[in-house]
Amino acid sequence: MIFGNPYYFLLLLLIPVFIGLFMWTHQRRRAALARFGEIKLVDKLTSGYSFSRQVIKWTLFIAFFCFLVFALVLPRFGVKMELFERRGVDIMVALDISESMLAEDIAPSRIERAKFEIGKFLDLLNGDRFGLIVFAGESFVQCPLTLDYGAAKMFLDVVNTGWVQIQGTAIADAIKQACAAFRSSEHKYKVLILISDGEDNEGDAEEAARTAAAEGVVIYTIGVGSEDGVPIPVSKGGGTVVYKKDREGNLVMTRLDPVTLEKVAIAGHGKYFHAGTDLDLSRILAEIEKMDKKELTASRLNSFEDRYQIFLFIAIVLLLVEFFVPDRVRRKEVWKGRFE
């Protein structure tokens, strides 16, 4: 069970206040009656009054308040099955997370801007399955293909350059990971969007792209960063920025390598987009919209369902019962001429 507004649980702290108020009211009533005469005599004269009835009414009111609070916190439990039938393509995004993506020629940095634009790209999707691969000197699937764009954003948000120990830009390995992640024998409906600066490429990326194209994967590449070269910040603190240096102490500069990325796109039967310092994935979405769509396998989404209505109904019933429970009871007594 989860709660939509758990802060309303603080209202339960009022229960001791209610109990104290009820007891104080009862004591005030007894003290007022005692001023009229001996308490035993007054009790005989007010025999219809029932303290037990008052306790029942107080208990019902407190129970009403508890269930009302449970309604206010919006409890969610159980499983609601929703059937989704979509038409679209399978889209894998391969994001370069090598240290060169820390460069700040795109504000706030290449990698943070890329993550932001991928998030915007997800907002534009409608029916396409999305997956995410991250790579540097090695690669792995961060998010498998899914129609749950909210979950995909959660996987995307936590990505950072510290995840991969082996530095470099293994584009070929990322392409192979994407082909394995599609898990489909169909030779169409597959798109790989590769976002990188293309620098320090390892492996035969062109050959991997040709192999992927033979399996029906269309590859779009996006080159991010400046071709002029910028330093790579590796740490910040106290207003001081430390930039990456080589073993000789020289400042390491990172530059966009558009040639490699363009060759990969051509081999993958796609297009190369020179983003430079103006990254925008909506242009690729326009290309994807031209592709044939397939009926994606219907998927069921399990989600917690709001159940506050149950607690609200019980609270209303308890309030009505409390209202109709009388304060007094009917007692038939014969006066014997004296009080004992």
Mind listing the pLDDT tens digit for each residue in 259-278? 999 999 999 999 999 876 67
Per-residue model confidence (pLDDT) at position 83: 59
Note if the pTM is more than 0.85.
Answer: no
Give residue 68's domain range: 2-79+304-324
Residue 219 resides in a domain: yes
Tell me which residues of the chain have a pLDDT lower than 50.
298, 339
Per-residue model confidence (pLDDT) at position 31: 72
Residue 195 resides in a domain: yes
Query: What is the count of structural domains for the chain?
Result: 2
Residue 7 resides in a domain: yes
Is residue 90 domain-shared with residue 47, that is, in the same domain? no
pLDDT above 70: percentage of residues in the chain? 81
The whole-angstrom separation of Cα 213 and Cα 333 is 99
Is residue 193 domain-shared with residue 239, that is, in the same domain? yes
Is residue 229 domain-shared with residue 291, that is, in the same domain? yes
Is residue 6 domain-shared with residue 152, that is, in the same domain? no
Residue 333 resides in a domain: no
Letter for the amino acid at 120? K
Per-residue model confidence (pLDDT) at position 194: 95
Q: What 8-state DSSP symbol labels residue 33? A: H
Is residue 66 domain-shared with residue 7, that is, in the same domain? yes
Residue 331 resides in a domain: no
Per-residue model confidence (pLDDT) at position 138: 86
Is residue 284 domain-shared with residue 178, that is, in the same domain? yes
Is residue 71 domain-shared with residue 120, that is, in the same domain? no
211-233 confidence digits (pLDDT tens) = 999 999 999 999 988 888 888 88
Residue 227 resides in a domain: yes
Is residue 101 domain-shared with residue 184, that is, in the same domain? yes
Is residue 215 domain-shared with residue 156, that is, in the same domain? yes
Q: Does residue 313 contact residue 149 with C-beta atoms inside 8 Å?
A: no
CATH number of the domain encompassing residue 287: 3.40.50.410
Residue 260 resides in a domain: yes
Per-residue model confidence (pLDDT) at position 126: 84
Q: Which residue has the tokens 């104080």?
A: 24
Q: Does residue 124 contact residue 285 with C-beta atoms inside 8 Å?
A: yes
Is residue 13 domain-shared with residue 119, that is, in the same domain? no
Is residue 191 domain-shared with residue 284, that is, in the same domain? yes
Is residue 198 domain-shared with residue 281, that is, in the same domain? yes
Per-residue model confidence (pLDDT) at position 174: 92
